[in-house]
């Protein structure tokens, strides 16, 4: 993405809310043509195209990628934000829930990364991918086994892709957020017996003394997609409020 964002086509999965929606709004202001992909039939502010479907379904991803190519001429950047958790430890996690989380968080990332590389190869213009990880993939955490496992796998996927596709001018990096004040996080708090206390415990884990904001994560994603990060690939950008340092 060596020419900046004007006219670039960037796809964001999980684009209807949270970090994805904030990223679409930010990069649209920079002149990018933003594509939102989400289960929700919602068009976020700044989206030139909104596609509704399951990111973990190969046929849906293939159809969406073909539509993006037909309508916008392929794409230059990919941000994978789609994901969710169930708040369960291994003994309490049914296989069906494990597989559903892996389907969205990991397989969805894989399928869209596969589509992105194919599009970038077809148009011979390189590009950048940013995958969304989690500080919990590095720090560990209670009662969230499938989510943590999926995010650890995303980090490994990004690193191997960075090596494989560097010669093609395709960069792949990972944003590692802390606890970000989004609907996803609020749903996790709401599973606790005392959601307010759960929220405060999360705040206390950050030396900066607060939760992160989706707009802050969008700025970090913007950097990883931008020419300023042209020598950065296979890396994790930690935007975790000091969680791991503390």
The angle at the Cα of 13, spanning 69 to 217, to the nearest 5 degrees, equals 125
The pLDDT profile of the chain, 246 residues, written as one tens digit per residue, is 434 799 999 999 999 999 999 999 999 999 999 999 999 999 999 999 999 999 999 999 999 999 999 999 999 999 999 999 999 999 999 999 999 999 999 999 999 999 999 999 999 889 999 999 999 999 988 999 999 999 999 999 999 999 999 999 999 999 999 999 998 889 989 999 999 999 999 999 999 999 999 999 999 999 999 999 999 999 999 999 999 998
Is 147 a known active-site residue? yes
- What integer pLDDT is reported at residue 4 of this predicted model? 78
- What integer pLDDT is reported at residue 246 of this predicted model? 86
* d(C-alpha 20, C-alpha 74), whole Å: 20
* d(C-alpha 30, C-alpha 223), whole Å: 12
- What integer pLDDT is reported at residue 2 of this predicted model? 39
**What distances in angstroms separate CA 234 from CA 97, 100, 148, 177, 223, one per listed residue?**
30, 27, 19, 16, 14
Which helix (H) or strand (E) covers residue 232, if one does? none
Q: Are strands 33-38 and 127-132 parallel, antiparallel or unpaired?
A: unpaired
Sign of CA dihedral 43, 221, 236, 60: positive
From the list 5, 147, 238, 243, the catalytic residue is: 147
Closest by Cα among 104, 111, 100, 15 to 59? 111
Residue ranges of domains in the chain, CATH in brackets: 9-180+217-239 (3.40.50.720)
């Amino acid at each position: 993405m060596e020419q900046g964002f004007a006219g670039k086509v960037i796809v964001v999965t999980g684009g209807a809310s949270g970090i994805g929606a904030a990223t679409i709004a930010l990069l649209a202001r920079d002149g990018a043509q933003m594509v939102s992909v989400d289960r929700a039939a919602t068009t976020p502010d700044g989206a030139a195209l909104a596609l509704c479907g399951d990111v973990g379904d190969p046929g849906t991803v293939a159809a969406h990628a073909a539509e993006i190519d037909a309508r916008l001429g392929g794409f230059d950047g990919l941000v994978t934000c789609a994901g969710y958790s169930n708040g369960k430890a291994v003994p309490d996690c049914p296989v069906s829930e494990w597989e559903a989380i892996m389907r969205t968080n990991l397989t969805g990332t894989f399928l869209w990364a596969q589509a992105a590389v194919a599009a970038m190869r077809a148009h011979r213009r390189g590009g950048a991918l940013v995958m969304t990880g989690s500080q919990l993939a590095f720090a560990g955490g209670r009662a969230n086994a499938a989510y943590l496992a999926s995010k650890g796998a995303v980090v490994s996927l990004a690193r191997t892709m960075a090596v494989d596709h560097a010669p093609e001018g395709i960069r792949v990096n990972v944003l590692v957020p802390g606890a970000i004040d989004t609907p996803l996080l609020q749903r996790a708090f709401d599973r606790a017996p005392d959601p307010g206390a759960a929220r405060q415990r999360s705040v206390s884990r950050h030396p900066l003394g607060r939760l992160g904001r989706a707009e802050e994560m969008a700025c970090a994603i913007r950097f990883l997609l931008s020419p300023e990060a042209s020598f950065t690939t296979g890396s994790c950008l930690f935007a975790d409020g000091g969680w791991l340092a503390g």
